[in-house]
A = this chain, B = another copy of it.
């Protein structure tokens, strides 16, 4: 059985994978950089539902690419997403990746106030006062608090990647954030996750230079 497996160079695997995805999309296409994002979400999940559920506000992907190229930083709500974002490309662009979820003072404050750590993390993001892309891969409460902070004029991200995954409040939080008046990329419905949030960031980072 071992000899049935074809040797493909790692560099060629991605190229061939993208060709297979394009073929199986049966002619469906998107303008760039949206198309790259759709393909990368499918590449990272092997789930073609992302061809149907990804919603982009007008020019959202291009806005994200340009913000990253100008050195915008990314705040995410999971360590997994933070570790999946290409740090080398971020450094080249001049931005940083922040995740405050494991900070002991975030946990303490959330406990004291009876809210989620993710909500406190969005307040930490607002306090950074710099150009930001907010990439949510887990907590609907992050999107809900983010929406409130935007309404209060306390944060104005360049772009919101709203990709929590799950069964409780996830659909609603995504619909809410799409009304916040900020450019967004959102896989509508239940699907998403840290891997999807990270891959959307990487798809935009790779547009900038590679």
Q: Which B-chain residue is minimally distant from A191 (CB atoms)? A: B46
Q: Is the pair B169, A45 in contact by a Cβ cutoff of 8 Å?
A: no
| A: interface residue count bin | 35 or more
A179 to B5, CA, bound (A): 14
Asked whether A2 and B80 contact (CB < 8 A) given A43-B167, A166-B46, A169-B13, the answer is: no
Q: Per-position contact with B for A156-179: 1 when CB-CB < 8 Å, else 0? A: 000000000111111011011001
Pick from B5, B6, B144: contact of A5, CB under 8 Å: B144
Q: Is the pair B193, A45 in contact by a Cβ cutoff of 8 Å?
A: yes
Name, among A5, A44, A79, the residue most crowded by chain B CB atoms within 10 Å (CB to CB).
Answer: A5
Asked whether A169 and B8 contact (CB < 8 A) given A2-B144, A80-B83, the answer is: yes
User: Taking the nearest CB of chain B, how far is it from the CB of A189, in angstroms?
Assistant: 8
Pick from B5, B79, B144: contact of A172, CB under 8 Å: B5
Q: Which residues in B have their C-beta under 8 angstroms from that of A172?
A: 1, 4-5
Q: Is the pair B13, A168 in contact by a Cβ cutoff of 8 Å?
A: yes
Pick from B16, B83, B116, B193: contact of A167, CB under 8 Å: B16
A114 to B20, CA, bound (A): 25
A190 to B170, CA, bound (A): 26
Q: Which residues in B have their C-beta under 8 angstroms from that of A176?
A: 1-2, 5
Residues in chain A within 8 A of chain B (CB atoms): 1-2, 4-6, 8, 10, 13, 16-17, 20-21, 43-47, 49, 79-80, 82-84, 116, 140-141, 144, 147-148, 165-170, 172-173, 175-176, 179, 189-195, 198
User: Taking the nearest CB of chain B, how far is it from the CB of A45, in angstroms?
Assistant: 6
Q: Which residues in B have their C-beta under 8 angstroms from that of A190?
A: 46
Q: Which residues in B have their C-beta under 8 angstroms from that of A44?
A: 165, 193
Pick from B116, B179, B198: contact of A80, CB under 8 Å: B198
Q: Which residues in B have their C-beta under 8 angstroms from that of A168?
A: 8, 13, 16-17, 20
